[in-house]
Amino acid sequence: MLSGLFSTSVAFATEVFPVRKGTVAFRGVTKRYGDNVVLNGIDLQVAAGEVLAVCGPSGSGKSTLIRLINQLETLSSGEIEVDGQPTSTLSGRSLRELRRHVGFVFQQFNLYAHLNALDNITLALRHIHGKSADDAQAIALALLARVGLQDKAHHFPSQLSGGQQQRVAIARTLAADPHIILFDEPTSALDPEMIGEVLQVMKSLAHSGITLIVVTHEMQFAREIADRVIFIDGGEILEQAAPEQFFSAPQHPRAQRFLQKVL
């Protein structure tokens, strides 16, 4: 009786007060590849608009964690909710809809080599968002300006530096007007002198309303812009804390060892 009442009131509450766009919740999420348990019962709530930094040693499951959110990987058990909706059963149109709201920025940029910067952005605007050619172009130019590349609209990826390519990739992600952007080590393929320009663009997105989940080894960046840092090792979240606390006084011995190596 009590549980019946409870579920009715929960359903009622979400109808009257819709969950704010940009939330992510992991509930007991496990991911295995064969016998290899890569993530083991992850529970994690990310608030709308939050900037979450994900760090941990190589092979600890960071990429897998964020790739699960927009189903670049499928989970083995548990559930991930995005904007309050379970995602594990989505497919076809509903999965495409999820991916529109959840952008992904890859380490290797993944631009279309045969399209210039402008067309890399207008492609989705026209074919997924149904914009006219003129509207798509206007939006794409505004986004290129936002990442400081208005003068590179007609350059092909091969004519752009790594930092510029990654900024185009971020502009392309923004074109979908996402609630959430997942970044998988967005600066680790870049020459050192180009890291700053990409971090600057990411900084400009922080606390703009979009939820950012950033796998990064840029500890200074995490310290400056993250609301919270999670440390993953062995498929588990071993520690989560505000950046000041995490970086100045990590609690878990493995987090301490990790920070000694990277700082």
Rounded Cα distance, 109 and 106, in Å: 5
Rounded Cα distance between 32 and 24, Å, is 21
| 89 interacts with ligand ADP by CB under 6 A | no
Scan residues 64-83 and list those touching ligand ADP (CB under 6 A): 64
Q: Is 62 in the site for ligand ADP (CB under 6 A)?
A: yes
Residue holding tokens 């709201």?
Answer: 101
Q: Which residues contact 182 (CB under 8 A, 6 or more apart)?
A: 66, 67, 69, 70, 102, 103, 104, 105, 213
Residue list 1-60, contact with ligand ADP (CB under 6 A): 33, 36, 38, 56, 58-60
Q: Is residue 260 involved in binding ligand ADP (CB under 6 A)?
A: no
Do residues 79 and 27 make contact, with C-beta atoms less than 8 angstroms apart? yes
Q: Give CA–CA dist 182/212, Å, rounded.
A: 6
Looking at residues 203 to 242 of the shown chain, list those that interact with ligand ADP (rule: CB under 6 A): none
Residues that bind Mg ion (CB under 5 A): 63
Assess 262 for contact with ligand ADP (CB under 6 A): no
Close Cβ partners of 66 (under 8 Å, ≥ 6 residues apart): 54, 104, 182, 183, 184, 213, 215
Residue closer to ligand ADP (CB basis): 31 or 131: 31
Size, binding site for ligand ADP by CB under 6 A: 11
| 167 contributes a contact to ligand ADP by CB under 6 A | no
Residue among 12 and 33 whose Cβ is closer to ligand ADP = 33
Which residue ranges make up the site for ligand ADP (CB under 6 A)? 33, 36, 38, 56, 58-64
